[in-house]
Amino acid sequence: MTFDQSEAEIQAHIDGPVQAAWEWLLAVVDDQDFETAWDLTAPELRRTRARAWLSANPAEEQHVEQLAQGTAPEPLRSRFAAAELSAYAESFGHLDTSQMGAASRPRVIGPDAELVVLAQLGQEPKIFTEPTLVHGLTFLMHLVRGRWLVADPDYKD
């Protein structure tokens, strides 16, 4: 296995799926900005999250697509947004995003699909020359209509 990377390879990865994953994480963890996070969420995850949330209230089941599209009526939309942000905060625990960075190697796993690793490594850049176990989050990213979107913010293989 080689760890050589061209500047172009690194930049395409950082400017593409890494940037989208990073913006999503900052919106959720630091800013509690549901609208930005939802805009960076892939359609299939939107529908999955909406269905899961609405499963506790079958009377609202007709609103799955409205929640997924971001057009659900109030106060349903606000309740959903608050529940989603709370669920992610609980799932991630305390993350200090100022101590996180992205792994530079692209991890292509299929057509228009890539894994992004955001790891807690401190503020100093780290260079690993061999496989190294790090604590972090692995995002499954999908390229949808020319935009990288979060398809799974805590991907487990």
Which tens digits make up the pLDDT trace of 55-92? Answer: 887 777 789 999 999 999 999 999 999 999 999 989 88
Phi, psi of 131 (to 5 degrees): -55, 135
d(CA 49, CA 112): 21
- Please report, for the chain, the start and end positions of each structural domain, with discontinuous segments joined by +: 1-157
Which tens digits make up the pLDDT trace of 99-155? Answer: 888 877 778 888 999 999 888 877 676 666 777 777 788 999 999 999 999 999 986
Q: Rounded to two decimals, what is the model's pTM?
A: 0.85
The DSSP code sequence of 36-69 is HHHHTB-HHHHHHHHHHHHTT-GGGGGGHHHHHH
The fold for domain 1-157 equals Nuclear Transport Factor 2; Chain: A, (3.10.450)
Token pair for residue 116? 């992004």
Q: What is the largest CA-CA distance in the chain?
A: 55
